[in-house]
C-alpha cells in the first residue's frame, strides 16, 4: 500500500472526501460523532468553536443548536477522551474506568478539596436542581489557587470528573450540572468494562474513525504499560482473524489497517477545499499528521507573538487529499466581518487555477457559518498570490 492510498483511506474514514458522507440534519450530526468517537471541546472563539467547526467540516448544513439539542435529548454527553469532549451516550460505560479512578483518588486532580464542600455542592444540586458555577456563592475570598477557581467550582469539576454529576446543558460556554442519575438514560449500559475490553474499545474506535492506526495513536495521552499491552493483544487477535492487516511504510511506525478498506479501491477525493479546526480529529495528532501527510502543524496561540511563524489561530487548508497551507483568520462578529489575517499557501502555487475557486467558495461558506457578511483579506505569503486573490476579498466588499 502506498502513502497516497493511506492518506486517501484515512480522509475517507474521517468523512472528509465527500460533501455529505453522513447525511443531513441533526441525525447526521449524531452519526458524525458516533463514527468519530468524540469531538473535542474548546473555548477559543476566534472563529466558531472547535466542536461546532469539526462537525460543520463534515456536515455543510450543520447548525450549532444541533449539538445542544443532542445533549438535551441525552444522545451525547460531555466527558474526557484525550481532552474535554462530546461523546456518544452509547459509549458512556467506557468513561467509567476514569470516573472510578477519580472517585478512588487514583487519578490526578489539581486541587485538594474539603469533603464538606463536595457534600454541600452535591446536596444543593440534589435539592435545588441543575446549577452553574456562578449559582454558588463563594466562601473563599482568597485568590491564587488553580485558575483562581472558587472552592465550589473546583468541587463541581471534581464531582463531574468522578461521575457524580453530568453536564445537562450549557448557557453559552458555561456548564450546567445535574446529578448523574437524573441525566443518564435508564437504558444506558453502566457495566464498567475490564481493561482488555476498554483497550478493544479504543482500538476499534480509532480504526473506525481513521481506517488505520498505530499503537502510539491508541495510547495518545494515556499512561500505563497495561493499556499498551492490551492494545497489542487486541490487534494481534484482529490480525489472526484477518480483520486488520499490518502495513509498513518507510520512516513510519507499524500501521494497522482495516482489511476491508485495503481490499476496496479508494477513489481520489473531489478537488474541494476544507478549512479544518486546529482541534479537528483529522489533525489533532500532530506527529501522525506530519508522518502521513508531511504537514508540520502547530497551534501558535500559546506561543509569544514575536515567535509565531504563521499566526495566532491558523486553520489547516486541505485540498482533496493534500494539505496545501494554512489560514490565520478571525470572525469580527460585532461588524459581521470575516478577516483573513494571513493566508499561507505552501504547495500548488503554480497551479492556482485548480484550487482558487474552491478556496474562495469555502472561505465564503465558512464566513457565513461564522455569522459574517463580508470578507477582508489582509495578507498573503506571496505578492503574486495577493494580487490574484485581492479582487475576491476586497475590503468591506459584500460577498454574499
Q: pLDDT tens, 133-186?
A: 999 865 445 554 444 458 889 999 999 999 999 999 999 899 999 999 999 999
Average pLDDT over the chain reads 91
Give me the mean pLDDT over the 7-19 stretch.
Answer: 95
- Three-state secondary structure call for residue 53: helix
Q: What is the mean pLDDT of residues 217-242?
A: 93
Residue 133, C-alpha cell as written in the block: 458555577
User: Which regions of the chain carry the CATH code 3.40.630?
Assistant: 298-398
Distance, CA of 7 to CA of 280 (rounded, Å): 16
pTM: 0.93
d(CA 305, CA 9): 37
| pLDDT for the residue numbered 398 | 45
Query: Is the model's pLDDT at 248 over the cut of 50?
Result: yes
Q: Quick: pLDDT tens for 111-128.
A: 678 899 999 999 999 999
- CB-based contact 176:168 (threshold 8 Å): yes
- Over residues 77-119, the pLDDT tens digits come to 999 998 999 999 999 999 999 999 999 888 776 667 889 999 9
pLDDT at 132: 94
Length reported for the chain? 400
Q: Does residue 307 carry a pLDDT above 70?
A: yes
CA-CA-CA-CA dihedral for 26, 28, 33, 36, to nearest 10: -170
* 3-class secondary structure per residue, 96-121: HHHHHHHHHCCCCCCCCCCHHHHHHH
Write down the pLDDT at residue 4: 92
Q: Are 295 and 316 in contact (CB under 8 A)?
A: yes
Give me the torsion for CA of 150, 153, 155, 157, rounded to 10°.
Answer: -140
For residue 334 the three cell numbers come to 460585532
Q: Which of 1.10.3470, 3.40.630, 2.60.120, 3.30.300 is the CATH number of 298-398?
A: 3.40.630
Q: What is the pLDDT of residues 354-380, one digit of tens each?
A: 999 999 999 999 999 999 999 999 999
Amino acid at each position: 500500500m502506498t502513502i497516497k492510498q493511506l492518506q486517501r483511506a484515512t480522509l475517507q474514514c474521517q468523512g472528509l472526501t465527500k460533501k455529505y458522507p453522513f447525511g443531513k440534519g441533526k441525525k447526521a450530526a449524531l452519526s458524525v460523532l458516533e463514527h468519530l468517537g468524540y469531538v473535542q471541546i474548546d473555548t477559543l472563539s476566534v472563529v466558531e468553536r472547535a466542536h461546532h467547526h469539526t462537525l460543520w467540516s463534515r456536515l455543510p448544513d450543520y447548525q450549532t443548536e444541533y449539538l445542544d439539542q443532542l445533549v438535551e435529548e441525552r444522545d451525547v454527553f460531555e466527558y474526557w477522551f484525550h481532552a474535554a469532549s462530546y461523546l456518544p451516550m452509547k459509549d458512556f460505560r467506557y468513561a467509567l474506568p476514569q470516573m472510578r479512578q477519580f472517585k478512588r483518588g487514583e487519578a490526578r486532580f489539581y486541587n485538594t478539596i474539603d469533603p464538606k464542600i463536595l457534600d454541600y455542592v452535591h446536596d444543593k444540586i440534589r435539592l435545588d436542581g441543575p446549577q452553574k458555577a456562578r449559582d454558588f456563592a463563594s466562601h473563599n475570598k482568597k485568590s491564587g489557587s488553580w485558575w483562581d477557581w472558587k472552592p465550589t467550582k473546583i468541587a463541581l469539576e471534581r464531582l463531574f470528573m468522578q461521575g457524580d454529576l453530568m453536564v445537562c446543558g450549557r448557557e453559552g460556554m458555561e456548564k450546567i450540572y445535574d446529578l448523574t442519575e437524573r441525566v443518564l438514560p435508564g437504558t444506558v449500559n453502566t457495566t464498567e468494562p475490564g481493561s482488555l475490553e476498554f483497550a478493544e474499545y479504543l482500538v476499534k474506535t480509532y480504526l473506525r474513525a481513521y481506517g488505520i492506526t498505530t499503537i502510539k495513536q491508541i495510547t495518545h495521552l494515556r499512561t500505563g504499560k497495561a493499556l499498551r499491552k492490551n492494545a497489542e493483544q487486541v490487534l494481534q487477535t484482529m490480525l489472526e482473524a484477518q480483520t486488520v492487516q499490518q502495513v509498513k511504510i518507510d520512516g513510519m511506525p507499524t500501521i494497522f489497517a482495516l482489511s476491508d478498506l485495503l481490499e476496496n479501491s479508494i477513489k481520489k477525493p473531489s478537488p474541494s477545499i476544507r478549512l479544518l479546526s486546529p482541534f479537528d480529529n483529522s489533525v489533532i495528532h500532530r506527529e501522525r499528521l506530519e508522518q502521513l501527510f508531511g504537514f508540520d502543524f502547530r497551534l501558535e496561540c500559546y506561543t509569544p507573538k514575536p515567535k509565531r511563524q504563521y499566526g495566532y489561530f491558523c486553520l489547516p487548508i486541505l485540498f482533496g487529499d493534500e494539505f496545501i497551507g494554512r489560514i490565520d483568520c478571525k470572525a469580527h462578529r460585532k461588524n459581521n466581518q470575516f478577516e483573513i489575517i494571513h493566508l499561507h499557501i505552501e504547495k500548488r502555487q503554480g497551479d492556482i487555477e485548480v484550487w482558487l475557486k474552491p478556496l474562495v467558495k469555502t472561505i465564503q461558506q465558512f464566513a457565513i457559518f461564522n455569522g459574517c457578511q463580508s470578507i477582508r483579506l489582509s495578507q498573503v505569503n506571496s505578492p503574486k498570490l495577493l494580487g490574484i486573490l485581492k479582487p475576491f476579498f476586497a475590503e468591506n466588499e459584500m460577498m454574499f
